[in-house]
Structure 1
Amino acid sequence: MGKDVSPVSGTPIRLSGLERATSLWRDSNFLRFWSGQAASQFGTQLGQLVFAVLAVDLLSATEFEVGALGASALAAFLVIGLPAGAWVDRWLKRRTMIAADLIRMAAIASLPLLWWSGTLQIWHLFVVSAVLGAATVFFDVAYQSYIPVLVPAANVPQANSKLEATAQIARIGGPAAGGGLLLLVSAPLILAGEALGYLFSALFLLATKDGERRAPVQERRPLAHEVREGLSFVFRHPLISRIVVCTAGVNFFTTLALTLFPVLVLRTLDLGAHNMGVIMAVGAAGGLVGAVSAPKVAAWLGEGTVIPLGSLLSAVFLALVPLSVFAPSQLAAAVMLVIAEFGFGFGVLIYNIMQLSMRQRVCPPRLLGRMNASIRFVVWGVMPLAALASGVLGSWLGVTTTMWIGVAGSLACCAPVWFSPLRRMKKLPDAPEAD
C-alpha cells in the first residue's frame, strides 16, 4: 500500500490500518490551533445566550421574529454553501479561517456600539446574524478540511475529540458566565466577549504553521464542475449518503423544536435569563462527556454502531423539552430541561465525532473542502427553512405543539442510519490511498 506525508511533520498519514496514533499533547502546532479555537468557542457560547436574551427580552421579538432571526443566521449555508467548498479547496484554509474570524469580530462588535448610541433595533440583529452566518460558512468548511492537513491521519479522531470536548466546555462555561454577567451588566456589553474570542482565534491561527500549498491554477476546472464533483462523491458513497440523509432530517426537526427554546424558557416557563444560562451550561456537560468518551465508546460498541445509537439517543432526550411544560414546578421543569440538554448533547457529540472522523478518513484530500461543503449545504441548508417554519408554526399552533412535531420528525429521521450496515460495523473503513 502507498503512503502520503503530513505537510507539517513529515509523518506518514496513509498507511492501510498500520499507522499508530501519537499524543497530540506533544504537538505544539496543534496546541496553538486548539488554544485559538478554545477562545473562539467560549466567546461564541457567551454571545449565543446573550443574543437570544437581547432579541426576546430587550427588543421584545415575536415568535415569528425569533424564527426569522434563526433563519438569517443559517441562510448562508443554503445560499453559498456549495460554491464555498470549491473556493476553500482553491484557497489556503488557514488564511480563510483568519479572514472569517476578523469579519465575525467586526460584525458582533457593532452591536454594543449601536446599543451605546441608542439606535439598536431588531433589524440590526438580522443583518449581523446574516454576516456572521456567511463568515461561518467559510470558516467551518475550512476548519473541517484543515484537521487532516494539520495532524497525521491516525490522530484525526483524537484531534476531533479534543476540539469537540473544548467546544462542550465552552458550552458549559459560556452560558453560565453569560447568565451571571446578565445580573451585573446589560446584554449588549457582554457581546464584546464574543468579539474578543474571534480576535484571539485569528491571532492563534496566525501563529499556527502548516505546509499547505495552493492547488496549481492550471489544475482548476470550472466552478460548476468542481461543485458537481463534490456532490457526486457525497451521494455515491454508500455510508456518507445515509449519514447525510439522517443528519439533514434530524437537523431540520431539531431546529424546528429548539428555535423556540428561548421562548419556552423565558416566557412559557418564566425561568429567567440566568436560569436559562444554567440549564444550557449544566446540560452541555453531556456534550463534554460525549466528546471525551467518543473514542472509548466506539471501541467498546463499535465505530459504526455508535453512529445510529447516537442519533436515536439524542432524539429520545429531545422529547423532555416539550414535556417540561407538564412539570409540577419551575424547579422540576428546569431539572427536566437539564436532563434533556445533557442527554441530547451526549448523543449528538458521539454521532458527530464518529461520522466526521469517517468522512475525513475516506475522502480524497483534494475533495475535502467540497465534500464538507456539500454536506454542510444539505444538512445545514435545511435549518433556515426549519427556523422559519418554527416561527410560523409557533405563532399558529403554539410553542409546545411545534416542539412535539420536531421530536416526532427527529425520531423518524434516525431510520437511514439505523437500518444500515453501520449498526453492525465494528470498525469504520480505512483511509484511501492519497491521490
Structure 2
Amino acid sequence: GGPGDGGPPVDAGPSRRPAEPSMGRFLGVAAGQLVSLIGSAFTQWAIPIWIYLTTGSVAQLALFVTLALVPGLVVAPLAGAVVDRSSRRAVLLAGDVAAWAVQIALGVLLWTDTLQIWHIYALLVGLSVATAFQRLAYVASVPQLVPKRYLRHAIGVVEMVNGVGTLFVPLFAAGLLATVGLDGILVIDIVSYAAAVLVVALVRWPARMGWHRRETLTAEIANGFRYSWGHRHFRAMLLFFLVLNIFLAPPLILVSPLVLSFGTLADAAQVSFVSGLGATVAGLTVALWGGPARRPMRGVLLSILAMAVACVVIALRPDPLLVAAGAFGLAAGLTLTTGIYRAIVQVKIPQRYHGRAAALNQMISWSTLPLGFAVVAPAATALFEPMLMPDGRLAGSVGRLIGVGEGRGIAFVFLLCGLVIAVLVAAAARIRAIARFDTDAPDAVADDLVGVESLRHRREPAGTPPVVPSRPRAGSAT
C-alpha cells in the first residue's frame, strides 16, 4: 500500500507540526501560480497575434491553438492517474519545471536568431503536455490545501487568478510586442516560472490523502475511468460539455480576428483587457460568494446562457465597445460556469479520484474543442465571409441585421454559435441528470472510508464489483 500524496507525513517530526489545510497555505500556492500565469499570458497573447498578423490566416491561428490543446488531452488520462497515485505537490512542481524548460528553449532559439514557425509548433506540444500535468495537479490539490467549508471560495480564487493573469496583460503586451518584441516577453515568462517553482518548492502540502492499495498505473487509469464514467450524473455532464464545446470554441478563438477586421492592434488589446476584467470579476464573485448555496446547477446553466447572449451581442455591430461588452460577458460566463461546476464535482467525487475525474472531464469535454478551433472556426469563416460582402448572397438578409463587409462572416459565426448554445441550455434544463446533478447525486464520503471499501473488495471473491460509499442525499432513507 501507499499514501495518496507521496508517503507518510515525513515533515511531522517531534519538533515540526504536520501541515494542516488552510486558506493561507492555499493562497500562497495560488500567488505563485498567478505570477507564472501573468508571464505565460504575455507569451500566449503575443505569439497568436504575431502569427495572425504575419500570415493573415485563421487556419494558422487555429493550428496554434489546437497544438496547444490536443497533446494535453491525449496525456490527460495518464496525468490524472499520476496525480492520484503520487505527491500532487511533486507533480505540480515537475509540471512547472518542464513548462519553464520549454520557455527557456523557445527563448534560446529566439535569442540566437534560429527560431522558425515550426519550432514554435513543436515546442507547443511539449508545453501542452507539461501544463496538462501542472493543471490537473493544481486543481486536484485545492481540496487538499483548504478546509471543505472554504472549498467553493478557493475554487473562486483559482478562477479569479486565471482572470487576473490575463487582465492587464493585453494592454502591456501590445506595447511590449512593438518595443521589446518576443525576446523581452519571453524573459518575463521565464522569470515568472522561476517564481512559481520557488513557491511550490517552499510550501508544505497537508498529508490528507488516505492510504490505498497500490495498483499498476494502467489499472488506476482504468478504475478511474470506470468510476467516473459509471457516475450517471457526471457522465451526463461530460456529454453535455462535449457538445457545448463544439459551439463554444469558435467564439473563444475568433474575438481578436473579429476586432482586427475593423480595428487596430490597440483595439484588440483593449477588448482582451475587458475580457480579462470579466473573468476577474466573475472569479472574485465566486471567491467571495462561494457560488449558489442551493441548486448551484441553475447557476451553471444560467452562466452558459449568459455566454450565448454575449455571443449575440458581439455579432451585432463592428463596434469595439459592443464587442468588448460581449467579450466581458463571454469571459465572465465561462469563469462562473467553470468555478461553480468544479466546486460541485469536487464535493461529489472522492479525493482519491479527483485527478482522474478531472482528467476524464478534460479529455472528453475538451475533445471537441479542436474540432471547433481547427475545423468549424476556419471553415465557417471562409464560408460566410464572401456571403456577407456587399454583393454576397446573405447581404440582403443577415446583412441587414449584422452589417456587411470584412469580418461580418466572423460575426455571423458568433450569432449562430450563440443561438445553438441557448438551445443546448434549454435542452439541458429538461434533462434531470444534468439539471439535478447538484441535488440528486450524493456527496462523497471521507477518503479513508473509500480506502476501507477498496480493501474490503480486495479480500472478497473475484467478480464482486467495488462499491464506493457516499453520503445519503438530504431527505433520503438511511
Alignment partners' CA distance in 1, 2:251 and 2:259: 13
When structure 1 is superposed on structure 2, of 136-145 and 40-49 the one drifting more is: 40-49
> Secondary structure at the residue paired with 1:259?
helix
Q: Where do residues 45-56 of structure 1 align in structure 2 (5 Å cutoff)? A: 45-56=41-52
1:241 to 235, 240, 244: 235
When structure 1 is superposed on structure 2, of 284-293 and 107-116 the one drifting more is: 107-116
Alignment partners' CA distance in 1, 2:68 and 2:200: 24
| 1:284 alignment partner in structure 2 | 276
2:315 to 315, 318, 322: 322
Q: Where do residues 374-389 of structure 1 align in structure 2 (5 Å cutoff)? A: 374-389=360-375
| Residues 142 and 415 of structure 1, relative CA distance in 2, 3 Å threshold | farther
Percent identity (aligned): 23
The total of aligned residue pairs comes to 406
| 2:430 alignment partner in structure 1 | 419
Retained in 2: the 8 A contact 1:54–1:188? no
1:342 to 321, 325, 328: 328
Letter of the 1:207 counterpart: L
1:180 offset after TM fit, Å? 3.1
> Secondary structure at the residue paired with 2:296?
coil
| 2:184 alignment partner in structure 1 | 189
Alignment partners' CA distance in 2, 1:415 and 1:125: 41
1:377 offset after TM fit, Å? 0.5
| Residues 369 and 257 of structure 1, relative CA distance in 2, 3 Å threshold | same
> What are the superposed Cα offsets for residues 359-417 of structure 1, whole Å, 9 maximum, x if unpaired?
11111121111111111111222222322112344345445144444334433333464
Gaps of 5+ in 2: 1-8, 10-17, 386-408, 451-478
| 1:293 alignment partner in structure 2 | 285
When structure 1 is superposed on structure 2, of 69-78 and 420-429 the one drifting more is: 420-429
| 2:470 alignment partner in structure 1 | none
> Secondary structure at the residue paired with 1:298?
coil
1:253 to 230, 247, 250: 247
Retained in 1: the 8 A contact 2:35–2:193? yes
1:167 offset after TM fit, Å? 2.0
Retained in 2: the 8 A contact 1:50–1:191? no
| Residues 125 and 226 of structure 1, relative CA distance in 2, 3 Å threshold | same
| 1:159 alignment partner in structure 2 | 154
> Secondary structure at the residue paired with 2:169?
helix
1:310 has 2:303 as partner: yes
> What are the superposed Cα offsets for residues 248-287 of structure 1, whole Å, 9 maximum, x if unpaired?
2222222123323332223x22x23222121111222222
Alignment partners' CA distance in 2, 1:302 and 1:229: 30
TM (normalized to structure 1)? 0.84
| Residues 408 and 77 of structure 1, relative CA distance in 2, 3 Å threshold | farther
Retained in 1: the 8 A contact 2:153–2:290? no
Retained in 2: the 8 A contact 1:254–1:406? yes
| 2:5 alignment partner in structure 1 | none
Q: CA RMSD in A?
A: 2.9
Letter of the 1:411 counterpart: A
Retained in 1: the 8 A contact 2:84–2:353? yes
1:32 has 2:19 as partner: no
1:118 has 2:105 as partner: no
> Secondary structure at the residue paired with 2:168?
helix
| 1:78 alignment partner in structure 2 | 73
| Residues 309 and 102 of structure 1, relative CA distance in 2, 3 Å threshold | same
> What are the superposed Cα offsets for residues 329-348 of structure 1, whole Å, 9 maximum, x if unpaired?
xxxx1111210111112211
1:394 to 381, 384, 393: 381
Retained in 2: the 8 A contact 1:315–1:410? yes
Gaps of 5+ in 1: 1-6, 12-22, 328-332
Letter of the 1:304 counterpart: M
> What are the superposed Cα offsets for residues 3-61 of structure 1, whole Å, 9 maximum, x if unpaired?
xxxx86557xxxxxxxxxxx83xx2x22321210110221122222111122122x425
| Residues 247 and 311 of structure 1, relative CA distance in 2, 3 Å threshold | same
Alignment partners' CA distance in 2, 1:148 and 1:138: 17
1:183 offset after TM fit, Å? 4.0
| 1:273 alignment partner in structure 2 | 265
| Residues 86 and 336 of structure 1, relative CA distance in 2, 3 Å threshold | same
| 1:41 alignment partner in structure 2 | 37
| 1:330 alignment partner in structure 2 | none
Q: Where do residues 62-141 of structure 1 align in structure 2 (5 Å cutoff)? A: 62-141=57-136
> What are the superposed Cα offsets for residues 176-219 of structure 1, whole Å, 9 maximum, x if unpaired?
22123234322343132222222211111011101448987x92
Retained in 2: the 8 A contact 1:243–1:417? no
1:71 offset after TM fit, Å? 0.8
| Residues 115 and 274 of structure 1, relative CA distance in 2, 3 Å threshold | farther
